[in-house]
């Protein structure tokens, strides 16, 4: 089936380097998620009530600083309330009082003996997480420099909901390939609906599970971020009013933005929002 093949241009060294950096960034993100889950699992084993407080905010710098300074529940429980508030206020001024109150409430609800030995593992996991986050921040600067140097960067960044990482993915997954139409691009991204048939019976259209998973995820997150745009928000709400669920409306918005993206890359023009008119 030669008609399903897409021409791949390999002469662009900048895109090849950018693709390598993006793949490495995905690996770092997966490792960060893995270490975070291990850290939350260890906190659950040590003190479940404390994990319910700190677990959802594990990415916050204030919680990360607490785990580095006080790696065990016993060490954290020994800190006085004014000292804890003072330390939290440096990195979390808005949530200081609520977070400190929740921490001491967790200690009053539950006491788990024999958890001090876990202090040998928590600092190492915290250190691994800190190293991985630092590496990803340094890699993000390299990706940003290469994206800004590409001539199509202003075109991609003009579309609402497209940031540096999304623009990098669009450069590595779309720009380096030739598409004859917007429908071909949508089919490559797995946005075209699929009709499921069994003999003479037709069971309706369903979202496709094929296509480029990386591109589909980037377009989906970009469509979700574009809900702040008035034009995209109006289209999303119109689909919801038609009876579609949240994900279905987002996929419809994603498909529409895919057509706009193809036209922008084909003509090399910036995104121009359509003026909303009253119903």
Taking only the tens place, the pLDDT of each residue in 209-234 is 778 889 999 999 999 999 999 999 99
In a domain, 128, yes or no: yes
Say how far apart CA 273 and CA 251 lie, in whole Å. Answer: 20
Say how far apart CA 136 and CA 134 lie, in whole Å. Answer: 5
pLDDT in tens, 199-212: 666 665 666 777 88
Residues 129 and 180 in one domain: no
- pLDDT mean across residues, the chain: 85
Q: Quick one: pLDDT at residue 1?
A: 66
Residues 123 and 47 in one domain: yes
Residues 133 and 61 in one domain: yes
pLDDT in tens, 44-90: 888 888 888 888 888 888 888 888 888 888 888 888 888 888 888 88
Q: Which of residues 139, 172, 203 is at a domain's end? A: 139
Residues 218 and 134 in one domain: no
Domain ranges, residue 191:
151-267
Residues 25 and 123 in one domain: yes
Q: Quick one: pLDDT at residue 279?
A: 47
Residues 126 and 174 in one domain: no
Residues 107 and 38 in one domain: yes
Q: Give the per-residue SS3 of 24-52.
A: HHHHHHHHHHHHHHHHHHHHHHHCHHHHH
Residues 134 and 24 in one domain: yes
Residues 193 and 121 in one domain: no
Q: Quick one: pLDDT at residue 164?
A: 92
In a domain, 12, yes or no: no
Q: Which of residues 115, 139, 163 is at a domain's end? A: 139
Percent of the chain exceeding pLDDT 90 equals 34
pLDDT in tens, 106-139: 888 877 666 666 677 888 888 899 899 999 999 9
Q: Quick one: pLDDT at residue 207?
A: 67
Give the CATH number for residue 42.
Answer: 1.10.287
Q: Which of residues 139, 165, 189 is at a domain's end? A: 139
Say how far apart CA 64 and CA 56 lie, in whole Å. Answer: 12
In a domain, 10, yes or no: no
CA distances to 18, 213, 235, 245, 264 from 256, rounded to whole Å, are: 27, 18, 9, 17, 13
Domains of the chain: total: 2
Residues 221 and 254 in one domain: yes
Residues 174 and 231 in one domain: yes
Q: What is the pLDDT averaged over residues 5-20?
A: 73
Residues 173 and 101 in one domain: no
In a domain, 15, yes or no: no
In a domain, 274, yes or no: no
């Amino acid at each position: 089936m030669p008609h399903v093949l897409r021409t791949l241009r390999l002469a662009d060294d900048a895109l090849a380097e950018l693709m390598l950096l993006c793949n490495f960034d995905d690996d770092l993100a997966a490792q960060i998620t893995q270490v975070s889950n291990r850290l939350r699992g260890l906190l659950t084993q040590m003190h479940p009530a404390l994990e319910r407080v700190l677990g959802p905010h594990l990415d916050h710098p204030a919680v990360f600083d607490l785990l580095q300074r006080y790696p065990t529940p016993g060490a954290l429980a020994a800190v006085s309330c004014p000292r804890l508030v003072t330390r939290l206020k440096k990195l979390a001024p808005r949530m200081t009082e609520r977070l400190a109150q929740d921490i001491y409430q967790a200690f009053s609800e539950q006491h788990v003996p024999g958890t001090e030995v876990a202090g040998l593992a928590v600092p190492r996991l915290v250190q691994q997480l800190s190293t991985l986050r630092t590496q990803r921040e340094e890699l993000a600067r390299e990706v940003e420099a290469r994206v800004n140097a590409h001539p199509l960067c202003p075109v991609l960044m003009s579309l609402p909901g497209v940031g540096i990482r999304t623009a990098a993915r669009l450069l590595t997954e779309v720009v380096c390939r030739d598409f004859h139409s917007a429908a071909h691009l949508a089919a490559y991204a797995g946005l075209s609906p699929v009709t499921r048939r069994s003999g003479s019976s037709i069971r309706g259209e369903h979202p496709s599970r094929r296509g480029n998973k990386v591109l589909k995820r980037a377009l989906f997150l970009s469509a979700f971020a574009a809900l702040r745009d008035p034009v995209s928000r109006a289209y999303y709400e119109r689909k919801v009013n038609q009876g579609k669920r949240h994900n279905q409306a987002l996929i419809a918005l994603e498909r529409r933005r895919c057509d706009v993206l193809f036209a922008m890359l084909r003509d090399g023009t910036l995104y121009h929002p359509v003026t909303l008119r009253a119903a």
